Structure 1
Amino acid sequence: MARGFVTAEEVARRAGVSRSAVSRTFTPGGSVSKAVRKKVLKAAQELGYRVNRLAQGLNNDRSNLIGVVGANLSSPFISKQLDALSLGLLRRGSQCLLLNAADARKDIAPLIELLFEFRAQAIVVLSGEPPASIIDECIANGVRLVLINQSMDRTDTNIVLSDDSHGADLAALRLRAAKCRKVAVVTSGSQTPAQMRRANAFTKRMIAEDIEVVSWSDGPTTYETGYRAGCELLKDNGIDGAFCVTDLLALGFLDAARLEMNRRVPQDLSIVGFDDIPQASWKSYQLTTIAQSFEALTEKVLAALDSDEPEIRLQVVPVSMIERTTAR
């Protein structure tokens, strides 16, 4: 039978001190003499003792857990975002409790309710929009809620957004500069708030520039969806430009153009994506895209978690054009 973890009582016996002395030694700011601290730390090292942070949290009204809820975790953008955020939380001294919302469909309320049971200090929602009742419950329980790239309907919670409208405007102006006369805007069927902001802003600018727009929206936000969009849309030889609202869609669209539809990129067709995921810079793609900084996004989430000011509600992550080789 496997042995359990070394307990504080065992450390106390080895060090010849009380159980409470061990507890104070491992509690930040705990009152304990230098001599006792030295004995406790020596005994803990010899025995291989580790503090039970979960038990510590149970003794307090709030744990140091930050709940992170998201779906589609395998997508390059979400995985990169999660990598940066979890590292930032660790450096902050917090623990990241990740819940996969893939099976929650549109209702992530049960996952957030589970985080209440863990006495999470705060909740960060990467994808999926919590219902109003859950937001109200977070406020009532003093749990800070941070929504990333969600809708802006609520003014009583923290929202971190990429500057989608400006990014889409940059994409539109880039395709105008490429002298495109008929452009496609490609979104997935998920119709997320971020995708809709990008598509709507792009279409508005193109109409203002008197450039014809063909819209396409179907399927999950995947490479395969982008590939299918390229195969279907590019049957129209008049389309000479495309804005894909995520890079993953753009990479699929780009491969379809080259491999299936015999289009030369950028000579015959200019393509712009959004997000600047790592794969966008791969030699086989070199995608021209709109970049949002993962570091800046993480900084703004941490600022929302750390701030004592309740009025910090909306923070916008700036975007920029990354020129590569897929636009004339």
Structure 2
Amino acid sequence: MDAEQAPPEASSDREDHLKRDRTTRSFVTSEDVARLAGVSRSAVSRTFTPGASVSADVRHRVQEAAKTLGYRVNRLARSLISDQSNLVGVVGANLSLPFMARQLDELSRELLKRGMQCLLLNAAEAEQGIAPLIELILEFRVRAIVVMSGSPPSSIIDECMANGVRVILVNRQADDTEADTIISDDLSGARLAAERLLRAGCGRIGVVGSGVRTPTQIRRRGAFVDRVREAGIEPAVWASGGTAYETGMDAARGLLSTHDLDGVFCVTDLMALGFLDGAREMGRRVPDDLSIIGFDDIQQSAWAAYRLTTIRQSMSDLTDSVLAAIERKMTGERGDLAHEVLPVELVERATVRSTS
């Protein structure tokens, strides 16, 4: 008997057996396919393993049986056997925010193109930190973990590295940890915003952030304040509320009712759009009376109703760097880690006074 052939069994017997099994089983298995095709389970496995040796006749029978039964390969089980997972864990919060949603959309799409899948865990309710989420992701034998929100403790990162799982921190920094870090150049971007407002002749300047002290917001606000102070100006600071459009509206009502500002930097575009609408509500003319700059260059910033001047961080560059880190072979050496700072640029639209 051919090694690929299973013991002979009447077609009607095989079908009756399968019908009985299907009443107690959720998923079609390789054993079901093997039984219907009349081959061994190893022949089914080889049929669905790229490059494996299997005769044309057996391949055809297996594929037909799989089609009839609606069989799909259990890739999670296969990764456990091969010790090579195609899953990439992603930890993120505030996933409805435009920039975060776009980042997740591009990353998951590019992972799929490369034969990898995104395992997403929402960290919005992670009151005890994201360490438990990362521990959970490790149970799925993921290939890498991309952290878009929160800062994992070094002990968890060490555990990931010990298991051969690369940890990639996006737009957040962790000192003395075995993790890849990929951040946009928030410091340069904030200074670009400050210098643009100064060139526009603004002398009464404010900066708007939320009450959420993320590393990104801290870097942007701090660099902007430092640059404005170098010019001899003490900026008005708003740091309250969530990272939301509504916070921008509240900041406009609060700051503009107590300060005669002529220039404002908002550390995210979403808050800048809220501030812009709030300023208009209060009768301020943008950019004649008030210049506004945001950060991120989200899609809505280019809408005709806003045409917001902003700082752009390249989403494609960010995604490419994350993918390169995921695919880089681990050597266990610190030199193997990526520590990238991605450049940003000022995008001129219509919310800052012309310097001409």
Q: TM-score range by the shorter chain?
A: over 0.9
Instruction: Output the CA distance in 2 between the equivalents of 1:154 and 1:278.
Output: 36
Native 8 Å contact 1:297 1:317 kept in 2: yes
1:280 partnered with 2:301: yes
1:303 partnered with 2:324: yes
User: Cα offset for 1:18?
Assistant: 0.9
What secondary structure does 1:147 align onto? strand
* 2:283 paired residue number: 262
User: Cα offset for 1:161?
Assistant: 0.2
Amino acid at match of 1:262: G
User: Cα offset for 1:61?
Assistant: 3.2
Q: 1:70 aligns with which of 92, 95, 105?
A: 92
Q: Deviations over 1:241-294 (max 9, x none)?
A: 1110111111111111111x2111111100000001111111111111011111
Amino acid at match of 1:319: V
Instruction: Output the CA distance in 2 between the equivalents of 1:34 and 1:79.
Output: 45
Instruction: Output the CA distance in 2 between the equivalents of 1:106 and 1:315.
Output: 29
Amino acid at match of 2:166: R
Native 8 Å contact 1:64 1:121 kept in 2: yes
Q: 1:315 aligns with which of 340, 343, 347?
A: 340
1:193 partnered with 2:215: yes
Amino acid at match of 1:82: L
Instruction: Output the CA distance in 1 between the equivalents of 2:150 and 2:177.
Output: 18
User: Cα offset for 1:7?
Assistant: 2.1
Amino acid at match of 1:326: T
1:245 partnered with 2:267: yes
Native 8 Å contact 1:106 1:128 kept in 2: no
Amino acid at match of 1:320: E
* 1:120 paired residue number: 142
Q: Deviations over 1:163-193 (max 9, x none)?
A: 1111111111111121100111111111111
Native 8 Å contact 1:17 1:36 kept in 2: yes
Instruction: Output the CA distance in 2 between the equivalents of 1:3 and 1:304.
Output: 40
Instruction: Output the CA distance in 2 between the equivalents of 1:55 and 1:98.
Output: 19
Instruction: Output the CA distance in 2 between the equivalents of 1:302 and 1:109.
Output: 23
Amino acid at match of 1:317: L
Native 8 Å contact 1:106 1:129 kept in 2: no
1:18 partnered with 2:34: no
What secondary structure does 2:221 align onto? helix
User: Cα offset for 1:158?
Assistant: 0.2
Q: 1:59 aligns with which of 52, 58, 81?
A: 81
1:179 partnered with 2:201: yes
* 1:325 paired residue number: 350
Amino acid at match of 2:350: T
Q: Deviations over 1:202-239 (max 9, x none)?
A: 11111222233112111211111111111111113421
Amino acid at match of 2:236: V
Native 8 Å contact 1:68 1:99 kept in 2: yes
Native 8 Å contact 2:210 2:242 kept in 1: yes
* Runs of at least 5 residues in structure 2 that lack an aligned partner in the other structure: 1-22
Q: How does 1:42-53 map to 2 (within 5 A)?
A: 42-53=64-75
Native 8 Å contact 2:157 2:177 kept in 1: no
User: Cα offset for 1:106?
Assistant: 5.7
The count of corresponding residues between Structure 1 and Structure 2 is 327
User: Cα offset for 1:72?
Assistant: 0.6
Instruction: Output the CA distance in 2 between the equivalents of 1:216 and 1:117.
Output: 42
* Runs of at least 5 residues in structure 1 that lack an aligned partner in the other structure: none
Instruction: Output the CA distance in 2 between the equivalents of 1:220 and 1:290.
Output: 21
Instruction: Output the CA distance in 1 between the equivalents of 2:38 and 2:48.
Output: 16
* 2:109 paired residue number: 87
Whichever of the two has the greater Rg, that structure is 2
User: Cα offset for 1:38?
Assistant: 2.7
Native 8 Å contact 1:206 1:213 kept in 2: yes
Q: When the two structures are superposed, what TM-score results if normalisation uses the length of structure 2? A: 0.87
Instruction: Output the CA distance in 2 between the equivalents of 1:140 and 1:197.
Output: 31
What secondary structure does 2:222 align onto? helix
Native 8 Å contact 2:90 2:145 kept in 1: yes
User: Cα offset for 1:124?
Assistant: 0.3
Amino acid at match of 1:312: L
Q: When the two structures are superposed, what TM-score results if normalisation uses the length of structure 1? A: 0.95
- RCO higher in 1 or 2 (8 Å CA, sep ≥ 6)? 1
Instruction: Output the CA distance in 2 between the equivalents of 1:28 and 1:163.
Output: 42
Q: 2:244 aligns with which of 210, 222, 228?
A: 222
What secondary structure does 2:316 align onto? helix
The Cα RMSD (Å) is: 1.7
1:211 partnered with 2:233: yes
Native 8 Å contact 2:190 2:224 kept in 1: yes
* 1:156 paired residue number: 178
What secondary structure does 1:29 align onto? coil
Q: Deviations over 1:114-160 (max 9, x none)?
A: 01111111100111111122112112221100001112423521011
1:292 partnered with 2:313: yes
What secondary structure does 1:219 align onto? coil
Amino acid at match of 2:295: F
User: Cα offset for 1:2?
Assistant: 9.2
